[in-house]
Amino acid sequence: MMNESGVVVIGSMTADVTAKANLLPRRGETVLGEEFTLVSGGKGSNQAAMSSRMGVKTWMVGCVGADAFKSVVLNSLHSHGVMTEFVEQLEDQKTGVAHIRVDSSGNNDIVIVPMANTQTNPDRVDRFFSTNPSVNTLLLQLEIPVPTVLYAAKVAKEKGLTVIFDPAPAAPFPDELYQWVDIVTPNETEASALTGVEVIDIKTAEQAASVLLEKGVNLVIITLAENGVLIADNDSVTHLSAFKVNVVDTTAAGDAFTGTLGACISEGKSIEESVQFAMAAGALAVTKIGAQTSLPTKEEVISLMNGGI
């Protein structure tokens, strides 16, 4: 039942309001912007869209509100081929919103207002798994309540799924969660917050990975932006170099990475091959502005891996 390839993402969905300007304003300052977009986002939704774009059957589990923004979210998921029968539309809630500002170098800051995402609870997790879906991989993040994340990880692990946990955005959670997770995928900032090791290079990433492995997770994958990716388990450490691309907007790069990773692992690819695919997807995502609008196709990912762009 659970051994067929397929991904379920239990997580957040938002409408992303993005403004791009040459420089981001300082406190109290107003600047003129150059570009504005309103698109679907949220770490869960982004990862589901990317997984589906890689050709893997993907379900989204979560909540949206009864407002105009729900159409932004649902229409985008449908366009990417994500199955949404377990996305609940709540009449007394508003759809989550992310306010994103991007500067000319592609750096961004984000304020997330979760709203309906706070209603993604264990009952909704049970509703999905009670249907006996043909999935073997679960993707989790921290834009829904932590107790739901912990519950979903436990249920999935007990059912034999591979559990991939993206600990973003940085938020407190019990160390117990690590024992229910197969793979954790922090970036440098998140790895630093989780371990107390300031991750600034490959050596410090190895130190942070050791701390996370001691907490009980089986495999640590730390994304290091232009410094590539570190893969570590209790037996070995591997470093993979980054793809060279022109950075326009880093929004959703991590989600492109994790969504692709989940899809590849679901299909049975090796860890290193899966990470290579994920790195290519993340690299391509930073070459365009926006969240789901920046996600590459499987063909584009393969092209970059083969030396194109």
Burial of 110 by CB count in 10 Å (0-12 exposed, 13-18 middle, 19+ buried)? Answer: middle
Taking only the tens place, the pLDDT of each residue in 264-307 is 999 999 999 999 999 999 999 999 877 788 899 999 999 999 98
Q: Which residues lie below 8 Å from residue 201, measured CB to CB, with a gap of 6+?
A: 227
Q: How far is CA 72 from CA 64, 65, 106, 120, 273, in A?
A: 10, 11, 24, 19, 33
CA atoms of 140 and 138, how far apart (whole Å) = 7
CA atoms of 58 and 89, how far apart (whole Å) = 19
Structural domains for the chain: 7-11+43-86+117-305 (3.40.1190.20)
Q: Residue 150 — left, alpha, or beta (φ > 0 → left; ψ -120 to 50 → alpha)? A: alpha
Taking only the tens place, the pLDDT of each residue in 144-167 is 999 999 999 999 999 999 999 999
Q: What was the pLDDT predicted at 1?
A: 40
Q: What was the pLDDT predicted at 170?
A: 84
Q: How confident is the model at residue 258 (pLDDT cuts 50, 70, 90)?
A: very high
CA atoms of 156 and 181, how far apart (whole Å) = 9
- How large is the average pLDDT for residues 99-117? 90
Q: How confident is the model at residue 259 (pLDDT cuts 50, 70, 90)?
A: very high
**Among 23-27, 73-77, 233-237, which is the least confidently predicted range?**
23-27
Q: How confident is the model at residue 308 (pLDDT cuts 50, 70, 90)?
A: low
- How large is the average pLDDT for residues 243-247? 90
Catalytic residues: 255
Total-model pTM: 0.93
Taking only the tens place, the pLDDT of each residue in 179-230 is 999 999 999 999 999 999 999 999 999 999 999 999 999 999 999 999 999 9
